[in-house]
Amino acid sequence: MLSVDQLVVNYGVINAVKGVSFDINEGEIVSLIGANGAGKTTILKTVSGLLRPASGTVTYEGHEIQREKAPKIVAQGISQVPEGRHIFAGLTVKENLQMGAFLQSDRANIATTFQTVYDRFPVLKERQNQDAATLSGGEQQMLAMGRALMSRPKLLLLDEPSMGLAPIFINEIFDIITAIKEQGTTVLLIEQNAKKALSISDRGYVLASGEVKMSGTGSELLANADVQKAYLGG
């Protein structure tokens, strides 16, 4: 579904991503793990069209998208849940969800997607008329995920979905990610909680200093002594 080949991304004179390559097959959860500053968020922003690479290609469903603008990429089926959630304060929960459907024109499809999101996140239906800023951190994360799902993505990009959440919400978020995959959405996951991420991932890539240092199945990386020492507290 997605192939990133020799991707190089710079912030001014800083070389943030240095020739990264990885693939995602349809129906997988693939994790990118690594320390802060490894280039993970930069990669996600480049895939979703928020950043332009200096070189390299991003190929989605057989065609290159690295020079396309974000709205066109969303329209093709890629949606991102950003780090920090970035819900729209001052808008209700329902209005936030409506923002996720801004490229959808079929009202029947939008209504169906609303129901799907409310079924997945019952708390959002209960609080649909509440100011989104008054939700708890975990509820805001659910809202951010629900908003991304309103665009009916084929590929969902998740940037640190468990950051800052209480343990009870962390487990729920990872259960939801697994359920989203089981319903047919492919997932690219960035997550500081490497153990949790790899435990639900089909495959993973370990990044350091803007480069891929290791790759394997989720279980292989969980069992790897170097990964355990660097990221799993082992």
> What value does the mean pLDDT of the chain take?
92
Quick check: 102 pLDDT over 90? no
* Spatial separation of the C-alpha atoms in residues 214 and 225, rounded to whole Å: 12
Residue 86, sorted as left (phi over 0), alpha (psi -120 to 50) or beta, turns out to be left
Burial class (CB in 10 A: 0-12, 13-18, 19+), 211: middle
Residue 234's pLDDT is: 52
CA torsion angle for 32, 35, 40, 41 (degrees, to 10)? 130
Quick check: 222 pLDDT over 90? yes
Burial class (CB in 10 A: 0-12, 13-18, 19+), 107: exposed
- Each residue's pLDDT tens digit, 43-93: 999 999 999 999 999 999 999 999 999 999 999 999 999 887 788 999 999
Cβ atoms of 178 and 146 within 8 Å: the answer is no
Band the pLDDT of 111: cuts 50, 70, 90.
confident
The tokens describing 150, both together, are: 């309103």
Band the pLDDT of 231: cuts 50, 70, 90.
confident
Quick check: 38 pLDDT over 90? no
Residue 68, sorted as left (phi over 0), alpha (psi -120 to 50) or beta, turns out to be beta
Burial string for 142-181 (b: 16+ CB within 10 Å, else e) reads: bbbbbbbbbbbbbbbbbbbbbbebeeebbebbbebbeebb
Which alpha helices (DSSP H) does 34-188 contain, by range? 40-47, 70-75, 93-100, 107-120, 122-126, 137-149, 167-182
68: Cβ contacts below 8 Å, ≥ 6 apart: 49
Q: Between vectors from CA 40 to CA 36 and to CA 45, what angle results, nearest 5°?
A: 125
* Spatial separation of the C-alpha atoms in residues 56 and 66, rounded to whole Å: 8
Residue 130's pLDDT is: 95
Band the pLDDT of 140: cuts 50, 70, 90.
very high
* Spatial separation of the C-alpha atoms in residues 63 and 73, rounded to whole Å: 11
Its pTM stands at 0.90
Superfamily in which the 21-231 domain is placed by CATH: P-loop containing nucleotide triphosphate hydrolases (3.40.50.300)
- Each residue's pLDDT tens digit, 141-196: 899 999 999 989 999 999 999 888 888 888 888 998 999 999 899 999 999 889 99
Where along the chain do its domains lie? 21-231
* Spatial separation of the C-alpha atoms in residues 212 and 189, rounded to whole Å: 15
The type of residue at 84 is: G
Higher pLDDT, 37 or 154: 154
Q: How far apart are the first and last CA of the chain?
A: 34
Question: What is the radius of gyration, based on Cα positions, of the chain?
Answer: 17
Residue 94's pLDDT is: 95
